[in-house]
Amino acid sequence: MSEALYALALLACPVGMGAMMWFMMRGSKSSPAQVKPTEEAELAKLRAEVDQLRAGQRDVSGEPSTPQSRATF
């Protein structure tokens, strides 16, 4: 009887992990590659805002705003 409890204890972790993975995979039906039209519009708006901010930063500093120009060596 005690040997059965040891075997059950040894199998509890892998079986539980497999069950968790199965439930997590079942829950994600949509793929991340599919973008909704409202998300596309918001993404375009945010990209335009980033471009405006970068242009404003270039105007103030007088130099291009690139990661290489901001790096300190």
Q: Where do the domains of the chain lie?
A: 2-27+36-66
Specify the residue for token string 């335009």: 48
**Mean predicted lDDT score pLDDT of the chain:** 81
Cα distances (angstroms) measured from residue 10 to each of 6, 14, 20, 42, 70: 6, 8, 17, 50, 55
Distances (CA, A) of 23 to 13, 17, 32, 33: 15, 10, 18, 21
Q: With pLDDT > 70 as the criterion, what percentage of the chain qualifies?
A: 73
Are the CB atoms for 10 and 3 separated by under 8 Å? no
Q: 62 in the Ramachandran plot: left (φ > 0), alpha (ψ -120 to 50) or beta?
A: left
pTM over cut 0.75: no
**Region 30-46 average pLDDT:** 80
pLDDT at 66 over 60: no
**Bigger pLDDT: 36 or 28?**
36
